[in-house]
Structure 1
Amino acid sequence: MHPIVIIGSGMAGYAAAREFRKLNTEQELVMICADDAANYAKPTLSNAFALKKAPEQIVLGDAEKMATQLNMRIVNHTWVKNIDTAVQEIQLENTQGEASTQAYSQLVLAVGAHAIRLAIAGDGSDDIHTVNSLSEYKSFRACLDQRQDKRVVILGAGLIGCEFANDLQNTGHDVTVVDLAPLPLGRLLPTHVAQSFKDKLSSTGIQFVLGTTVEKVAKNADGSYSVALANGQSFTADAVLSAIGLQPNLALTAEANIQTSRGIVTNGHLETNQANIYALGDCAEVNGLLLPYVMPIMQQARALAKTLNGETTAVHYPAMPVAVKTPAAPLTVLPAPLNVEVQWETEEFEDGMLSKALDNEGTLRGFVLLGATAAKQRLSLTKLVPDLIPASV
């Protein structure tokens, strides 16, 4: 029997391998990845400064350790060039340009997502950092370590942009956040909560410049950058970080006729439209839902492990709140489903507020908890929210 092959060594790939090994210690497992296959939790990147964690301390295990731990063959620094669905085989090429093939009995796409990059003018635009991997984080840290002033301009006031802003501001950096939206986390929060969240972060010294975009990034003679905005403002930065969102990696899917929409389309069993090919993690659009967060990945990995082991199992999505790592404004968000019309009800506290998203029948469909007082209600509120994808009966 051919091995189960996992493409990707991120959180999703390792979670799938780990959960499968709990059920089956014998079936051959192979992981293919383009990087070094170091195992680490990507969410730790956005608060590693405050935790005083150097990049090398973030790694939980290298490829050798993980291969031993999971009884799995890991083929790193190798790219998948093509998936031949007819014969269930993938074509590979390593960094030396050597080609090979790998047959599979079942194939798991855990290929993740890449950071979206805007087309920005200026001779400094190629130096704009994104941090969606440990190697990118190392590059960003190395850049900041070389500079004395540590002025950082962040493009994007979404979840990752705000987490990095809080982490950098807390560790002696001078942070400016630029976004076209009128408020940070505008897609996740009702206006009044977003305003309060912004105020709390601003009080730490973070400068928000909203309702505009970056037009040009130019290099200065001293190694700094001039960042020109569409509204006419300009800032000097020692590093520019782009955190405007992620795009699922879909490069392998077209030639293999694997259906995609926003991500790789799967049903509730994480099956793609091609036999014996599954997807999970940041690349997977499960029953129309694309949720690039830790808890959905864990739910997916548990269900998929059973399916790969012969017990076809649908993924179950309970209500899964997201904790935003912004200590200056502790925030927990459970977004309401996009296709549900909701009204917000808000209760204010001295240190924040609680906002409930209620549908037309008065059912709680989501919530936002800002501050320590509101956070205490997380568990009780989560129990009241209907499952996103119900458990199979």
Structure 2
Amino acid sequence: MELTLFIIVGAIAVISAAMMLISENAIYSALFLILNFACIAFFFLMLNAPFLAMVQITVYAGAIMVLFLFVIMLLGAERVLPEEPPRFPWLAPAVIALALLFLVVASIAIIGGEIDLTVEPEKTGPYLRVVHALDGVEALDVYVGDDRVARNLDFRESSDFEIWEAGRYDVVLYNAGADPAADDPLAEQTVTIDAGEAVSLVAVGRSGTPSATLVAAAEDIAYIDDSDAVRVIAVNGLPDRSAVDVLDDTSGKTVVVRGLPYGQASEAVEIGAGTRTIGLYPSGDSQTRLAVLESEELEANTSRLWVFTEARQPDNSFVDVVINLETEARPTFGSPTHVGQLLYTRYVLPFEMVALLLLVAMIGAIVLTHETLSVRRQMVRRLANPPAGLDQPIIGESSK
């Protein structure tokens, strides 16, 4: 069914484009161009891009073609007739026939090759990064499978997100510069990474103790529908705290995450953007604050990963600290935000060049049309009762 629609709409698009070029009336050419734009919009719908289809209809078939029609009718270009018959009258029908023949041959090739056009595109590979929150280790080397994903990663630092392949992996932590073949690992764990996820592998606990472990925090970095929201995920990396609460202390004590066990990551929670004070408390105790993010500026459409861990002091005591990581939300492929970001970042130069080309083409079309307008002839009007003393006919304005 999809292939049949493509053949039909493709044939209409080719014929309308050819008729736009060979039509002797400028109004008819504009109408054929509108039909061609409608066919292109239909193709966008077949590719599951409704936003681009609506843009094609609204901007091109709507606003731009209204401008073209206005200019054509303002200059009277629809009345321009060819000065002489075309030199090769058979050329236009031949071009249309060849284009349609190519469309039919391509369609037969697709059908004969049994190409499945309904297969869903594969999801974007998952993103992976490592966060060092393991107390007692200055720097880490992290291996995922046979690949080293982090080298000399300092405490309270994180690596950048990298595109990874989905699957099940053995993740092993070593001291920076250690030999995996000879040295013992600090911690190791098996994690599963699914397609379409953004996973942060957080090393937490105390080095040399059973509390040293790895937490796989699945972040959601997709674009947030609420333009004034921030997506938050918390990780409890405090070995002495079996469960903690994360509260918003900005105005009162609003619960953000409740009862988060040690070595676990919370589900993603959306909170309002702005300047906020976030406090960490023992589970069920809203009076004893363990750590705080004071007057933190939370920008809208971002994802925050809060890792609550500890740092050993020279006197062998421990201080609770917060690792605050911010990731900008990424819009969904093909969404208005994604198209806008690509258009005004990666493709801004081609966009400006096309705009300039269209402006020059419109000005050139106006100039060429103005020069090819037929010469107006004079019309002599005679009066039934001419006034006395008038012996010459009145020459009127040009005929229309």
Pick the TM interval, shorter chain. Answer: under 0.3
Q: Which has the higher contact order (CA 8 A, sep 6+)?
A: 1
Superposition TM-score, scaled by structure 1 size: 0.23
Higher helix content, 1 or 2: 2
